[in-house]
Structure 1
């Protein structure tokens, strides 16, 4: 699949989506660990996540890592889905046609297969503005 070709990704056709895939967080994890749904959001303690979110865009995972709460350093893990996944409905077709951020979600765990040591960071002022908006209850921007 090329970047300019988009089709709705579902559990039935997700095998057609090429990785690698990335997940950003501040958690200190190891290769082989599983990221699972059912835990509180990286951004809001009031939200228990029904899915694990990931992307095929390293910078997007870097943004998630920079935005995540916690004392650890931002980390971007290379992950492999263990089950079906679908387009992240929070971004797909919301502002742009298709899924240009290549963001996905899965109710199945993601296995950590590596860690990306370097990614293009976002501007600190941009991160501060996003954090402010999240604290004001606009979590839908990044969830």
Structure 2
């Protein structure tokens, strides 16, 4: 696990409707670069961080934040740690092993429509400028 800072609880944001016991696995397209099939499942120790991911996720479903447990080793997410932010202030992680859904959080902070659009615009600009590289 390296220098992983957290022991949980952990959260995953998505627009998929999941049930306790469901397993989240790698092998799906990135929400940010759909041409990239992801080798990892991403999660965070911050419910609001998972909420942001849920709101930015592809699809038309309702954004949801789930409490998840890793089933194997995990590491700091290199897409946001050190490469972009020293350490791991976003408390973001990734794993090649499945995550198991153990519950749902409903009291996470939702973005205003303006804040959500600002995030979408920022991500679109990064993709357009080819600055949205994913370390897969």
Scaled by the length of structure 1, the TM-score of the pair is 0.82
In structure 2, the CA distance between the partners of 1:117 and 1:99, relative to structure 1 (3 Å rule), is same
Question: Where does 1:1-143 land on structure 2 (aligned, <5 Å)?
Answer: 9-10=1-2, 17-136=6-125, 137=127, 138-140=131-133
Q: Which runs of 5+ in 1 are unaligned?
A: 1-8
Contact 2:6 2:45 in 1 (8 A): no
Q: Which 4+ stretches in 1 moved above 4 angstroms?
A: none
Distance 1:107 1:63 in 2: 22
How many correspondences in the alignment? 131
Q: TM-score, length-normalised on structure 2?
A: 0.86
Calculate the aligned-residue CA RMSD, in Å: 2.1
